[in-house]
Amino acid sequence: MSKHIGLFWLKEDFRIKKNLALLEATKNHDYVVAFYLYKKKKFENQEAQRWWIVQSLKDFKDKLNNYNINLEVINIENYSTFFNSLIKKKNFSLYWNKTYEPSYLKFDNYLSQNLKIKKIHFKICKGNILNEVDEIKKSDGTPFKVFTPFWRNSEKFYMEKIPSKEKNISKCKDKTSFFGSNSNQNQIFPKKKWYKKFEKYWVPGEEQAIKELKKFISHKIENYSDGRNFPGIQGTSKLSPFIKHGQIHVETIWEECLKIKKKNTEKFLAEIGWREFNHSLINHFPYMLKSNYSKKFDKFPWEKSSKHLTAWKKGITGYPIVDAGMRELYSTGWMHNRVRMIVGSFLVKHLLIDWKEGEKHFRNCLLDYNEANNVAGWQWVAGCGADAAPYFRIFNPILQGEKFDKSGEYVKKWVPELKNLPSKFIHKPWEINDEKILKLGKDYPFPIVIHEKARLKALNAFQKI
Ligand SMILES: Cc1cc2nc3c(=O)[nH]c(=O)nc-3n(C[C@H](O)[C@H](O)[C@H](O)COP(=O)(O)OP(=O)(O)OC[C@H]3O[C@@H](n4cnc5c(N)ncnc54)[C@H](O)[C@@H]3O)c2cc1C
């Protein structure tokens, strides 16, 4: 008799700890095969993430080996064709964790209907979130649109849940394969591309995620409220790419934080709260993935300037803090949150370019790119999101630089052509007037727009809506 196999569909859950679908599969079956579906088209606009995924697949394959579980990678054109042919096979059950994006959750419904019709056993488990997106609602049953009451309710709801005893996954009887020759990892491997240099900065994997969390809790969390604002120091956890790829579960972060009684833990957990809030928003208002949450922005007179957009992407706008951020992003696949807000504001308010352009560029370059956080982050910056910064509050890139990167350490790291500038001029190099130190227009560009003029223009544009 042929073996009945537990298939674990690996999406963004590259972890052993708190991986409910994997746990279920190993509990119910002697033979388990994990599979990862690589849809090339999806990653055409998410290039940086390919690097992280390749590293994570290698790491996770080795880990699963210790449990006698094979990990097979399959290149596909689309999910439905793949699963329609899978369900014609016999002798398997299917397990996966939820990914909290409307398209995935919609597909879960479609797939579960088809599996039911074919009488194939399956289980969909809770993914990387504290509360399921429809568990947190206002008393009238509608979704929250403001963060503070959302998070107050979420924390309370989560703490009142009875914690289930954590179980370890068990070792399978023997390794086996399921997809055989169809499985091929080669196409994901990036050729020599810009993102190869991420190796210098990151070690993707579950152990590293736990290590980073512990390091952050031991040395940084107490100063998080202030430290998180200064891009020149490491004041944040830098866990975002690990969370995105599920190398650490947010429940683990919660538990580890609550084990210690340190100040600022609440503040840090509230940022995890923003992630929960953003997931709630995109699932309750999925139209915001493609358009403005606040409809009045549909009439906003955005400008189309490929010259300005390119200068922004390349980090040659002439505003040092903006350029430093864009170059940090390109070099490391990550950007500090304060600087994300500054560069975002510069794009939509100083250059009057639609936030969707910024969202697209971040999607391609961020290792932590996450549909909910990116779209909501951009709409927050643009002023058209839920509970967003008002449009008329326009970040001044000079003052932001002087406040949060006073000595210019961050700027000098990413914009080395300014490294000899005295701190007084580091955020306004056009004032130096000493060609021995800096030839403006040659060593470093003139500002592409003048702050005060751009500010007035943005306010005028805002008046129109
Ligand atoms: C324009 C814009 C785009 C963004 N795009 C993304 C994105 O694609 N993916 C992403 O994970 N975050 C995004 N963020 C949110 C935030 O910048 C990053 O989560 C944060 O910088 C990650 O660094 P960290 O892990 O050191 O954060 P920490 O400060 O250590 O926070 C811990 C975790 O909390 C969550 N978090 C922190 N800040 C926020 C926030 N403002 N909103 C939502 N969750 C938060 C993240 O999961 C983060 O890893 C964006 C913010 C802006 C302004």
1 pLDDT exceeds 70?
A: no
- Does 40 share its domain with 154? no
185 pLDDT exceeds 90?
A: no
Pairing of strands 92-97, 31-39: unpaired
- Does 363 share its domain with 442? yes
Contact in structure between 190 and 196 (CB atoms under 8 Å): yes
Q: What percent of the chain has pLDDT over 70?
A: 97
- Does 306 share its domain with 405? yes
How far, in Å, from the CA of 183 to the mean position of ligand 1? 34
Nearest CA to ligand 1 atom 37: 271
Q: Taking residues 9-29, what's their average pLDDT?
A: 97
Domains in the chain, number: 3
- Does 47 share its domain with 87? yes
Indicate the top mutation candidate among 45, 271, 272 to test ligand 1's pocket, ranked by most ligand atoms within 8 A of CB. 271
Q: Which residue has the tokens 């500038």?
A: 421
How do residues 103-161 score in pLDDT, each as one tens digit?
A: 999 999 999 999 999 999 999 999 999 999 999 999 999 999 999 999 999 999 999 98
The number of the ligand 1 atom at minimal distance from the alpha carbon of 239 is: 25
- Does 60 share its domain with 140? no
- Does 279 share its domain with 138? yes
Nearest CA to ligand 1 atom 52: 377
Report the pLDDT value the prediction gives residue 212, as an integer from 0 to 100. 98
CB under 6 Å to ligand 1: residues? 228, 236-240, 243-244, 271-272, 274-275, 278, 337, 340-341, 344, 362, 366, 368-370, 373-374, 377-378, 381
The number of the ligand 1 atom at minimal distance from the alpha carbon of 366 is: 8
How do residues 139-149 score in pLDDT, each as one tens digit?
A: 999 999 999 99
Contact in structure between 287 and 191 (CB atoms under 8 Å): no
- Does 213 share its domain with 307? no
For residue 277, give both structure tokens. 């809030």
Give the CA count within 13 Å in the CB-facing half-sphere of 243. Answer: 22
pLDDT band at 192 (very low <50, low <70, confident <90, very high): low
How do residues 270-291 score in pLDDT, each as one tens digit?
A: 999 999 999 999 999 999 999 9
Nearest CA to ligand 1 atom 44: 275
Nearest CA to ligand 1 atom 43: 275
Q: Taking residues 330-353, what's their average pLDDT?
A: 98
Helices (H), 87-135: 102-117
Nearest CA to ligand 1 atom 50: 377
- Does 339 share its domain with 349? yes
CATH number at residue 377: 1.10.579.10
- Does 153 share its domain with 258? yes
- Does 320 share its domain with 402? yes
Report the pLDDT value the prediction gives residue 195, as an integer from 0 to 100. 80
- Which amino acid type is present at position 129? I
How far, in Å, from the CA of 457 to the mean position of ligand 1? 30
* Backbone angles phi and psi of 96, in degrees to 5: -155, 160
Q: Is residue 237 part of a domain?
A: yes
How do residues 312-338 score in pLDDT, each as one tens digit?
A: 999 999 999 999 999 999 999 999 999
How far, in Å, from the CA of 335 to the mean position of ligand 1? 9
Contact in structure between 319 and 426 (CB atoms under 8 Å): no
Q: Is residue 403 part of a domain?
A: yes
pLDDT band at 50 (very low <50, low <70, confident <90, very high): very high
The number of the ligand 1 atom at minimal distance from the alpha carbon of 371 is: 8
pLDDT band at 102 (very low <50, low <70, confident <90, very high): very high
How far, in Å, from the CA of 254 to the mean position of ligand 1? 16
**Strand ranges of the sheet holding 5-10, from the earlier edge strand across to the other edge:** 70-76, 31-39, 5-10, 92-97, 122-125
CATH number at residue 250: 1.25.40.80
162 pLDDT exceeds 90?
A: no
Nearest CA to ligand 1 atom 26: 238
The number of the ligand 1 atom at minimal distance from the alpha carbon of 244 is: 11
How buried is 411 (Cβ within 10 angstroms: 0-12 exposed, 13-18 middle, 19+ buried)?
buried
Q: What percent of the chain has pLDDT over 90?
A: 89
Nearest CA to ligand 1 atom 22: 240
- Does 112 share its domain with 134? no
How do residues 374-387 score in pLDDT, each as one tens digit?
A: 999 999 999 999 99
251 pLDDT exceeds 80?
A: yes
- Does 359 share its domain with 420? yes
196 pLDDT exceeds 90?
A: no
pLDDT band at 408 (very low <50, low <70, confident <90, very high): very high
How far, in Å, from the CA of 88 to the mean position of ligand 1? 41
pLDDT band at 371 (very low <50, low <70, confident <90, very high): very high
Q: Residue 309 belongs to what domain range?
A: 295-463
* Backbone angles phi and psi of 10, in degrees to 5: -85, 120
Q: Taking residues 69-81, what's their average pLDDT?
A: 95
Indicate the top mutation candidate among 266, 373, 375 to test ligand 1's pocket, ranked by most ligand atoms within 8 A of CB. 373
Q: Is residue 17 part of a domain?
A: yes
How far, in Å, from the CA of 164 to the mean position of ligand 1? 28
